[in-house]
Every structure is written in structure tokens, then in C-alpha cells.
Amino acid sequence: MSIADRLMTSVVKQLTPYQSARRLFASTDSQGDWLNANESPFANDFSTDSRRFNRYPDCQPPAVVASYAAYTQLEQDQVLVSRGADEGIELLIRAFCQPGTDHILICPPTYGMYAISAQTFNVGVKQVPLKEDFQLDVDGIIEAEDTVKLVFICAPNNPTGTLPAKNDIVQVIEHYADKALVVIDEAYIEFSANDHHVELLNNYPNVVILRTLSKAFALAGLRCGFTLAQGDVIAALLKVIAPYPLAEPVAQIAAQALSQDGLGLCQQQVSFLQNQQTRLLSVLETIPNLSVVGAQNANFILIRCQHKDSLMAALVAQGILIRDQSKQYLLDDCLRISIGNEGQNSRLIQAITTFYQDRQELS
């Protein structure tokens, strides 16, 4: 037994590394069509000023916090910036869940990192699946209450693209008023801008909202996200965050992305992607071997298709990568397609259409 195997904690022994499609399939320098991780196809220009690189950065860079507070019309003490929304999830679990005793509650099919993060810290995961229409099972969520400290609601939900009804979310928040925090993950909210839940923050002290620059802001490589909550929740997270969670170049670029110009560019690119989504959807709906599942409130489309594995393999052979979601609850044979640029979407349509035509001729 290696030294690592002998010393590893029993919790860590049971973990498996996060399986991104990139880790599973790809070589590092491949020039493929990456439609698997809901990244933006745009790579925007930024500049950095190296004159501060010899100094440790601010824990909470004031320019970044101030611009995100302005963007969301919140006070600065209601905003925490972190290494992606994923770090926000982790900080919430570390600050509010007692390892070995407490639970988080998730509503699958949904984003995988809530459960992965909880498992890493030996925090239990209660699952209350979405209903067949991908809406919240409010009664189930309320029944599960014992030892639940965090309820994660993804809105719009990844990978279904659906929005949970606001009434249902409010019911959950009110039920858990002095028992648990309700964390609304709005990673895709710029694609559904009128459906945000910021106003709930000021009415209910147990609401937390997660945001990111990774999706609509086209900065997945930056690793920058936000947690929005009342000041005392943010203060608790600041107790467990690393002293320098954001590198100085990250802070500089994030501030540029949140400037007036940056916000304008983001909005323009969101409209472009929404048009591409409509175009992709109209073609996919004509292919008899597949059906569109869920809704399109984010930058992806979920499909259920025949011969799912062969289709994936045929796409990979042409350098097109999408994401298999078929292991998730309610999502048998489902694949998720991130909206790319015009060329990528055209190649995808062509590849799917050809795949089913070829199969038809064979049979």
C-alpha cells in the first residue's frame, strides 16, 4: 500500500475525481468544437497592469465588489467574490454544515458540484428529485427538513434549462425561514434576465444567490463568481475563505468585464446566443429520432435521442464534444448541447442530421 493510500482519510478514499468531459475525452491542444461545458464561444479582449503583481491581492477587491453590487443593486456587504461560484458552494458548506451530522438538500437532475462538494467535507446529501415536469417537489423538500442546513435550487436549472416556479421557491424559503439557507444558483441568469431572485434577498434573511462570470460573461477560464446574501451570511463566509482567493490579474479582468462596456458586450453576446439557440432548436425539432427536453432558459439545449452512444461517438470522431446527461434522474438517453458560434452550431446540425440519415440507409 502506498503512503498516500495508508494515510488517506476514509472520506477521501471514497471520492472519485470530477469527471469533466474534457478529462474524459480530450487531448489538451485539440481544436474541436467544445459544446460540452456551457462555456461561451466568445473570447473577449482584456488588459492587465503588472505594476501590482509584486503585492498580495485584496481578499475582496473593492473595484470588483463595488461593480457587482451596482450591477445587482445591492449593498457591498451583501456581495462576496470568490474563485468561481464553485468556491461559493464550498464556502457555504464549510461555514454552515457540521461534518458527519448535517445535510444539504438537492433536487436532481441538477448541477453536480453541490453533492461533490458536500461529500468532500463529509456532509450528507438528501435528494428530493424534481417532478416529471422538472418543477420542485415542494412537499418533499419540506418533509426532508431534519438536519438540512442548505437547500440548493438551480434557476435556470442545469441541465434541464427550466425555471422553478417563483411561488414554489418562496414556499421553500418561508418553510425553512429559521432552519436553513436556501441557495438559488443563478449561474445562467443573464440568459433569463427578468427571472432573477435578487428582490427576495431583502425580504428573507435565509436567501443566498450564486452568480458567475463563467457563462454569459464568457470568462470560465478566469474562475470568478459571486455569492449574494445578507451581510451576516457574507461575514460568516469571510471567516472560512482563503486570505487571497482571487489573483490580481483575475480581479483586474473581472472589473473590466463588469464595466459599462463589459456589461454591454455581455448583453450583446447573450442576444446572439439566444438567436443561435432558436435556430438550433428549430432544426433539432425536425429530426424524428430525437426530442427536445426541458426548456431553453440558459445557453444550452437538452435532447433525448435514439442511439445516444453511437451519436456521441460519431460527434467525437468529428471533433464535436457535447455532454452526456443520461445518468441523471429522469434523463435517460439525454445529451446536453451548449450553444456555440455560428460555425460550430452548423457543424453540429450537419453531423447529427447525417448520423441519422446514414443509420436509416443502413437499416
Ligand X SMILES: *Cc1c(COP(=O)(O)O)cnc(C)c1O
Phi–psi pair at 337, nearest 5 degrees: -115, 120
CB of 302 to ligand X, least distance (A): 13
* Residue 33 or 186 with smaller CB distance to ligand X: 186
Return the DSSP state at 308: H
CB of 50 to ligand X, least distance (A): 25
Host H or E run for residue 290: strand 290-293
* Residue 152 or 176 with smaller CB distance to ligand X: 152
Q: Grid coordinates representing 57?
A: 491581492
Q: How far apart are CA 271 and CA 273, in angstroms?
A: 5
Specify whether the CB–CB gap between 176 and 143 falls below 8 A: no
Counting other chains too, the contacts that 340-344 makes at CB distance below 8 Å and 24 or more residues apart are 340/33, 340/34, 340/35, 340/41, 340/276, 341/41, 341/42, 341/276, 342/276, 344/33, 344/35, 344/41, 344/320
* Residue 8 or 37 with smaller CB distance to ligand X: 37
CB of 186 to ligand X, least distance (A): 8
* Residue 216 or 352 with smaller CB distance to ligand X: 216
Phi–psi pair at 60, nearest 5 degrees: -125, 85
CB of 263 to ligand X, least distance (A): 18
Q: How far apart are CA 230 and CA 285, in angstroms?
A: 43
**Which residue is nearest to ligand X, using beta carbons?**
84
Question: What's the angle, vertex CA 144, arms to CA 139 and CA 149, rounded to 5?
Answer: 120
CB of 206 to ligand X, least distance (A): 20
* Residue 37 or 281 with smaller CB distance to ligand X: 37
CB of 212 to ligand X, least distance (A): 3
* Residue 209 or 280 with smaller CB distance to ligand X: 209
Nearest-CA neighbor of 327 among 215, 159, 186? 159
* Residue 81 or 172 with smaller CB distance to ligand X: 81
- List interacting residues with ligand X (CB under 6 A): 38, 84-86, 111, 154, 158, 185, 187, 212, 214-215, 220, 225
CB of 319 to ligand X, least distance (A): 23
Would you list the DSSP string of 31-76?
--EE-SS---S--------GGGTTSPPPSS-HHHHHHHHHHHT--G
